[in-house]
Structure 1
Amino acid sequence: MGRPKGYAFFQSRDLCIPHYGSGYIDSVKEGSGSCPCCHQTLQCPSWWAVDVITACHVIFDTREAQCTHVDFFYDDITSTSCGRMKTLKGVRVLTRNFGADHCKLRCVTHEENLAHELQQIVSKYNFKVWTMKAPPMRAVGMPCFIVSHPHGQPKKVTIGKVEAIEKLNNSNYKLIYSTNTCSGSSGALVLVLQEDAGPGTSWLTWALWTSVHSAGGELNESSSEIQLLT
């Protein structure tokens, strides 16, 4: 059906107009059965599914996913010439949440070394992450970092601060922050540094609230299930 009337980029529906977005890896796992990116009659010896989190208004549905190319390790202007950057093709949208502007996109690779490298990165990240149990209201005024690819260019890190937090429902919050973004930053990882004494402790530790960049303006915002990274 495509994007509904009034939704972001509705006017570009069914047109071959490229647009850019950002995202981050959710999981990497070895596939089973027929490879989703190959013809059904072809037998792939092995393939891996790489699932990426981005904004729903960046990748709306599976039709758009199949027209999507995802660049990994696009860290600087030398990434393409030195061969460090790897590009995978999207195959389908696994989940999406309109209210949180949250989407999970599946990509596929046949490069075992790349899959293992991405798995190691995700494992290091997940080792320090668990779902947040309490509202992050004390994060207001704290530093806010965004890792994105503005205008489809190499990775940039911008720094601002959290201006406000709005509760949407039991598991979703909207973060409003002053961190600079540009077109192409939507779907990026948002990290909020917060002082947290923690239960039963008498000292401060640093924690990171993570979310997905959703919209821009005079102030920027994200809305998704927030996680705690320490």
Structure 2
Amino acid sequence: MIAVVVVVLVIVVIVVVSHLSSLRFSTTYRHHECEIFSESEPEAAESGYKWKNCEKNPGHVKFISAPDFTENYLSKLHSEAQREVLQARVDLTVRLRVNWTSQDRQDDDEFSAVRGTKLRRFGTGCILDVSYPVDDEPCPCPECDEKIVRKHWAFPVLTARHVVYDTEEAKQTKVDLFYDDESCEQNGRMKTLWGLEVLKTSVESDECTMLCVTHDEDLGERLESICRCVHGSEPGEPFNLADLGWAESCGKDYQHVMVVSHPHGQPKKITVGEVVRETEEAGTFDNPAIFYNTPTCAGSSGAPLNVFGKTPTLLYYFWYSSVHSGRCGESSTDPCDQLNFGLCW
């Protein structure tokens, strides 16, 4: 009789552990971090309300504003090249305001229940590069509609596939560049463009690359300058977030993840955390993944992950590993459920 009870208890423990594991890391319980807005309320007021009443990160004490980051943290880096590259990473991050949900989303999609509606959702993306200007062809932006030959620049924006699903959604997506503080909208520093089309998507890595175009010469030339800074940096350039005064020095095999995003649709914020685990094989996920405790909120979906680690020579480096896909657990307040993840390329 005792042996039977022991066997039953062992089975129960195995089932419970298996359930908890699947609850936190299976595809069923991945939770996107788009911020959902109503169709009628003013965006600024609703964004401010969601920021103030956030349950996941009350007070947002670990979220650093873009101006604060530039003025009080970047100056601590010893190398001007390092300061320029990190500033460029921040500058290339954009806010996405998606105003349509495609009818072609699958039945098991996060937003299948609102297909064909104008329910607004906010996310984050990053500009990957910018083309050389074209001045002898019609500009394909929505304003010109290929009817005016005009000098223009094209650039791809990387985000999560669950943020922008297809071209139908891309055409209804506003891309806000340089939304660094609340005054940017009033003084014209923020530039807003429309998505044009989806160039490619990946189900496995939850990624979408969307094309944007601008004929604003000042903006085009500014993006060229920023992208040259990023792509001209050395892969082995040493970085140590401890120099910034907001992350402890890395130990052996230690990695930090810096996320630049627009939580709750707010102006750009920077957060830093640690890599908790990585999966070389898919496991309960459909693709290799990276898990981290960097603070994020609704609105952070699609943000680029800047991962800092160590080379064999113990120099710090950084790279884009993937985009922020969401949090793992069902609860927004349970610390275990606040572990975030991105699916690797």
Same fold (TM over 0.5): yes
Q: Given that residues 140 and 163 in structure 1 are in contact (C-alpha distance below 8 angstroms), is that contact kept between their aligned partners in structure 2?
A: no
Q: Deviations over 1:33-59 (max 9, x none)?
A: 33222334x223222112111111100
The residue aligned with 1:52 is: 157
Aligned to 1:135: none
Query: Which residue in 1 is equivalent to 2:326?
Result: 215
Residue 193 of structure 2 corresponds to residue 78 of structure 1: no
Q: Which residue of 1 aligns with 2:303?
A: 188
Equivalent AA in structure 2 for residue 146 of structure 1: V
Please point out which of 207, 218, 222 is paired with 1:113. Answer: 218
Q: 2:139 aligns with which of 13, 35, 39?
A: 35
Identity of aligned residues (%): 38
Match of 2:279 among 154, 166, 169: 166
Q: As a proportion of its length, which structure holds more strand? A: 1
1:17 to 112, 115, 119: 119
Q: Is the 8 A contact 1:141 1:163 kept in 2?
A: no
* 8 Å CA contact retained: 1:144, 1:160: yes
Match of 2:170 in 1: 65
Aligned length: 210
Q: Which amino acid aligns with 1:205?
A: L
Give the TM-score normalised by structure 1.
Answer: 0.84
Secondary structure, in 3 states, of the residue corresponding to 2:226? helix
Match of 1:4 in 2: 106
Q: Which amino acid aligns with 2:180?
A: D
**1:142 maps to 2:261:** no
SS at structure 1 position matched to 2:122: coil
In the alignment, structure 2 segments of 5+ residues that lack a partner are 1-102, 236-250, 329-336
Q: Deviation digits for residues 12-36 of structure 1, max 9, x if unmatched?
A: 1110011011011111112463322
Q: In angstroms, what is the RMSD of aligned CA positions?
A: 2.0
- The answer to which structure has the higher helix fraction is 2
Matched, 1:176 2:291: yes
Letter in 2 for 1:3: R
Instruction: Write the deviation string for residues 42-84 of structure 1: whole angstroms up to 9, x where unpaired.
Output: 2232221121111111000000000000000011112112211
When normalised by structure 2's length, the TM-score is 0.57
Structure 1 regions of 5+ residues with no counterpart?
131-137, 199-203, 226-230
Q: 2-side partners of 1:25 and 1:208: how far apart?
A: 17
Tell me the alpha carbon deviations over residues 73-103 of structure 1, each in whole angstroms, 9 at most, x when there is no partner: 0111121122111001101000100110011
1:152 matched to 2:265: yes
Computing the radius of gyration from Cα coordinates, the structure with the larger value is 2
**Residues 125 and 16 (structure 1 numbering): CA distance in 2 closer, same or farther, change over 3 Å?**
same
1:209 CA drift (Å): 3.0
